[in-house]
Chain A
Amino acid sequence: MSKLMSAKELLPCDMLAAGSAAEFETGDWRLGEKPVWHPETCIQCLICWIACPDVAVNVKDSKMTGFDYKHCKGCGICARECPTKPNKAITMEKEK
């Protein structure tokens, strides 16, 4: 959320439009590492999508398409659960 709204611009109580959490870019909390997707290894099992605690795995037409870094916290669960062998389709890499 870039511009802060005034009291009069808000809904008239402790209430917000639904789904507004998406506008809050919590990915800026991410510490150190981020997941990187390697589509050439990916088997589209979507285990990463199931495991992600923050809905930060982008999926379109039932296919994994990458990560939503604006909301990913870098927890690494997706990389740990990724079942492809010997090379993982998701690896954790240092943030640049």
Chain B
Amino acid sequence: MVTLAKTGNEVMAEAMRQIDPDVVAAYPITPATEVVMIFAQFVADGLVGTEYIPVESEHSAMSACVGAATTGARVMTGTSSQGLALMYEILPIASALRLPIIMCEVNRALSGPINIHCDHSDTMGCRDFGWLQIFSENSQEAYDNVLQAVRIAEDPRVQLPTMVTTDGFIISHCMEKVEVLEDKVVKDYVGEKRSPYSVLDVDKPVTIGALDLTDYYFEHKMPVVQAMKDARQVILEVGEDFGKRFGRPYRFFEKYKLDDAEFAIVALGSTCGTARVAIDELREKGIKAGMLKLRVFRPFPAEEIAEALSKVPNIAILDRSDSFNAQGGPVFTEVRSAMYNLKAKIINYVYGLGGRDINVAQIKEVFNQLGQADKMPLVNYLGVRE
């Protein structure tokens, strides 16, 4: 283990170098550009054996990833915002074909208005496409999550594409201390990729992506349903094993001062770092504040979240994107649904759209307002000039 100073983008590229995937197809987009740009340099320098396919768009990038993955290759890519949106058409094809493609996704607001800063609208926009989605609070988690994503996605019980996200600029461009494993350790950890099929296997020919109408489409979606359910156990196993090997265990979420909390927030990504400070300061004043930091959004760990929050009477869900559904953000609607049988008061705060900063004082104000949650609107917009 080596301690390095690296940005989120640098450390994702470093993880990709150590994984040494067979194929990377990518198109640059702010703020994810560096992930694939640095990796392209690794290819040019001969540090990896990867076939790097520079393409003319993200639509082509994901199409090339799907094509490469059907041969059984280990395939990775990276993108953000509009780039991810341009991939949308191909993303559910990757999951339907059970291709464990790994994507380094840097969360950035969807246009319009055009914006390059962090919110989660891009990732949330493809939450129902059969991809696993793992959020990272900092560069260390981004690194650890990318390594684990290979093991999770390629597990025979899963075989689904997986995106690991960081928050644009906040993590992607912020230099932090990161503990990086030795190359050989990573090589052994990810191992050789094994695929249940390959379109290049002439002894076992298959037809993929055939037309499925009313008679078979539904049946062909059921394996994705089952794999997403089975992924829950695999994520736990891989996270526990990662902890045993390298000292940093992972689960679906992290509980921060939650067990005796009277007021809790649920958040994802970099905001959790800010929230820890707010919670620590409130705890010093005797306020029982806590947090559930959600790491895995797909599959959604509904039962486990309900269990973890079962004793908390007042809960605020922080969403860094809005569903524009007139009833709150995506994390809110799912957590609230998971908590349907419990009596907690649950309200929603949509915050940080387009990279609008969220600070310690604002999070403390959320906790303050939770003290009178009954009087608060169901959905609140935090940090906006209304």
Interface residue ranges, A against B (CB under 8 Å): 4-7, 10-21
A to B contact number (C-beta, < 8 Å): 59
When distances are taken between beta carbons in the complex, the residues of chain A under 8 Å from B223 are 7, 10, 12-13
Q: When the two chains form their complex, are residues A5 and B205 in contact, meaning their CB atoms are under 8 A apart?
A: no
Check if B246 is an interface residue, CB within 8 A of chain A.
no
Q: When the two chains form their complex, are residues A15 and B215 in contact, meaning their CB atoms are under 8 A apart?
A: no
Question: Taking A5-B219, A7-B222, A12-B223 as contacts, is the C-beta distance between A18 and B206 under 8 angstroms?
Answer: yes
CB distance from A89 to the nearest CB of B (A): 34
CB-nearest residue of chain A to B207: A16
From A4, A13, A17, A18, name the one whose CB has the most chain B CB atoms within 10 angstroms. Answer: A13
Which among B96, B215, B216, B218 is the interface contact of A13 at CB below 8 angstroms?
B96
Which among B97, B209, B220 is the interface contact of A10 at CB below 8 angstroms?
B220
- Complex Cα distance, B219 from A6, in Å, reads 7
Q: When the two chains form their complex, are residues A14 and B97 in contact, meaning their CB atoms are under 8 A apart?
A: yes
CB distance from A36 to the nearest CB of B (A): 31
B201-241 residues with Cβ-Cβ distance < 8 A to A are 205-210, 212, 215-216, 218-220, 222-224, 227
Which among A4, A14, A19 is the interface contact of B220 at CB below 8 angstroms?
A14
When distances are taken between beta carbons in the complex, the residues of chain A under 8 Å from B205 are 17-19
CB-nearest residue of chain A to B92: A14
When distances are taken between beta carbons in the complex, the residues of chain A under 8 Å from B377 are none
Which among B159, B206, B209, B219 is the interface contact of A7 at CB below 8 angstroms?
B219
When distances are taken between beta carbons in the complex, the residues of chain A under 8 Å from B219 are 5-7, 10
CB-nearest residue of chain B to A20: B207
Q: When the two chains form their complex, are residues A17 and B159 in contact, meaning their CB atoms are under 8 A apart?
A: no
CB-nearest residue of chain B to A10: B219
Interface residue ranges, B against A (CB under 8 Å): 93, 96-98, 159, 196-197, 205-210, 212, 215-216, 218-220, 222-224, 227
When distances are taken between beta carbons in the complex, the residues of chain A under 8 Å from B97 are 13-15
Q: When the two chains form their complex, are residues B159 and A19 in contact, meaning their CB atoms are under 8 A apart?
A: no
When distances are taken between beta carbons in the complex, the residues of chain A under 8 Å from B224 are 13
CB-nearest residue of chain B to A13: B98
Besides A13-B220, A18-B206, 10 more A-B contacts (Cβ < 8 Å) are A5-B219, A7-B222, A12-B196, A13-B223, A14-B208, A15-B207, A16-B210, A18-B207, A20-B207, A21-B210
13 A–B contacts from the bound complex (CB under 8 Å): A5-B219, A7-B219, A10-B223, A11-B206, A12-B98, A12-B159, A12-B227, A13-B96, A14-B93, A14-B97, A15-B206, A16-B207, A21-B210
Which among B98, B207, B222, B227 is the interface contact of A19 at CB below 8 angstroms?
B207
- Complex Cα distance, B218 from A74, in Å, reads 32
When distances are taken between beta carbons in the complex, the residues of chain A under 8 Å from B207 are 15-21
Q: When the two chains form their complex, are residues A15 and B212 in contact, meaning their CB atoms are under 8 A apart?
A: no
When distances are taken between beta carbons in the complex, the residues of chain A under 8 Å from B216 are 4-5, 10
CB-nearest residue of chain A to B156: A12
CB-nearest residue of chain B to A6: B219
- Complex Cα distance, B212 from A63, in Å, reads 35
When distances are taken between beta carbons in the complex, the residues of chain B under 8 Å from A6 are 219
